[in-house]
């Protein structure tokens, strides 16, 4: 099981593209999904992931409800919310629901990128079986 990954949940693709540019030197793979339900399935496969979700009116209630249970369901995962400028007033509601970061500008992602890199660097590697550990230490 992959413990940590960067998951971006949005429909347009603009936030994922902006994050790829910002994280180009970090060499992180960005996993994209357009549906909140799919993002939570991806979290089940990578329980220490960093999730970036785009807030929009049609999904706001479902998203905030899932975020409220994130700490219980995936205690090692983190979620950040990105939103269009007209939803910037929702920042504190999202933070109250558990978001570690909120931004409404795809041009101001440096702080979020640093947070993502720091979080994923702290994710422990997946557990290996005894045989896998032995093979990993062999000199050839």
What would the 3-class secondary structure string for the chain be? CCCCCEEEECCCCHHHHHHHHHCCCCCCCEEEECCHHHHHHHHHHCCCCEEEEECCHHHHHHHHHHHHCHHHHCCCCEEEEECCHHHHHHHHHHHHHCCCEEECCCCCCHHHHHHHHHHHHCCCCCCCCHHHHHHHHCCC
Q: Write down all domains in the chain, each with its CATH number in brackets.
A: 6-137 (3.40.50.2300)
**pTM assigned to the model:** 0.84
Per-residue pLDDT tens digits of the chain, which is 140 residues long: 456 799 999 998 999 999 999 999 988 889 999 999 999 999 998 999 999 999 999 999 999 999 999 999 999 999 999 999 999 999 999 999 999 999 999 899 999 999 999 999 888 766 778 887 788 888 87
Q: What are 123's two structure tokens?
A: 């994710």
């Amino acid at each position: 099981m992959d413990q940590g990954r960067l998951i971006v949940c949005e429909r347009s693709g603009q936030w994922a593209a902006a994050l790829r540019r910002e994280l180009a030197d970090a060499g992180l793979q960005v996993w994209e999904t357009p549906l909140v339900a799919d993002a939570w399935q991806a979290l089940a496969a990578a329980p220490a992931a960093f999730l970036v979700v785009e807030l929009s009116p049609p999904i706001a209630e479902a998203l905030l409800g899932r975020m409220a249970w994130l700490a219980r369901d995936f205690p090692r995962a983190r979620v950040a919310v990105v939103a269009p400028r007209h939803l910037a007033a929702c920042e504190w509601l999202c933070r109250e629901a558990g978001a570690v970061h909120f931004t409404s500008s795809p041009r101001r992602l440096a702080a979020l990128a640093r947070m993502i890199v720091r979080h994923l660097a702290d994710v422990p590697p997946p557990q290996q079986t005894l045989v896998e550990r032995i093979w990993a230490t062999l000199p050839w």
